[in-house]
Amino acid sequence: MPHAGLMDEASLGPAAGPLQRARLHIRGGKRRLAQGKIAAGIVTLYDALDGAMQWYVSSPERLASLRITAGEELNNDKTLFRALQRSGVIDSTFNYEDFDSLVERALREELTGYDYRPLLVSLEKIMTGLGVMPFDEASLPPEDPATF
């Protein structure tokens, strides 16, 4: 993964760790897509979304503003996504189930010929809504070419 060796998420803490991971994975996912490594790029962006959502709910103020249904387990990415969408943080037009299915497919096979551009636009919109983007890539540790 793009953050391997570039950060120690646990030492950064429950807010800074997931935020740094999300940003590193956004950068790495985009690079992989541009290199034609479509499946790897999609899986990397999925992890970026997970980190971004975990960062969002790490703030007590942001968490308190969410419409959470009794019994919802926010450590489950699908449940957390629905809570963020229900609360208006994430655009309701993004279909998480379709994205999750695409990621499952990407884990099994390379997605040669898949047009990832609409997905990337949607994910960037989500990352902006969550407050993870925009960010200065120069503030991130330099990429390690050995990460894939």
Mean pLDDT, to the nearest integer, of 8-31? 83
Task: Answer whether residue 56 is part of any domain.
Answer: yes
Task: Answer whether residue 3 is part of any domain.
Answer: no
Task: Answer whether residue 48 is part of any domain.
Answer: yes
- Cβ proximity of 76 and 54 under 8 Å: no
Task: Answer whether residue 49 is part of any domain.
Answer: yes
| pLDDT at residue 141 in the model | 75
Task: Answer whether residue 59 is part of any domain.
Answer: yes
Q: Which residue has the tokens 């997931």?
A: 18
| pLDDT at residue 1 in the model | 46
More confident residue, 110 or 5: 110
Tell me which residue range forms the domain holding 119: 9-147
Mean pLDDT, to the nearest integer, of 118-136? 94
The per-residue pLDDT for range 68-99, each reduced to its tens digit, is 999 899 999 999 999 999 999 998 899 999 99
Q: In the structure, what pLDDT confidence band is assigned to residue 42 with cuts at 50, 70 and 90?
A: very high
Task: Answer whether residue 16 is part of any domain.
Answer: yes
Mean pLDDT, to the nearest integer, of 124-148? 84
Distance (Å, whole) CA 124 – CA 49: 10
Task: Answer whether residue 1 is part of any domain.
Answer: no
Distance (Å, whole) CA 35 – CA 98: 24
Task: Answer whether residue 4 is part of any domain.
Answer: no
More confident residue, 5 or 103: 103
Structural domain count, the chain = 1
Token representation of residue 111: 């997605």
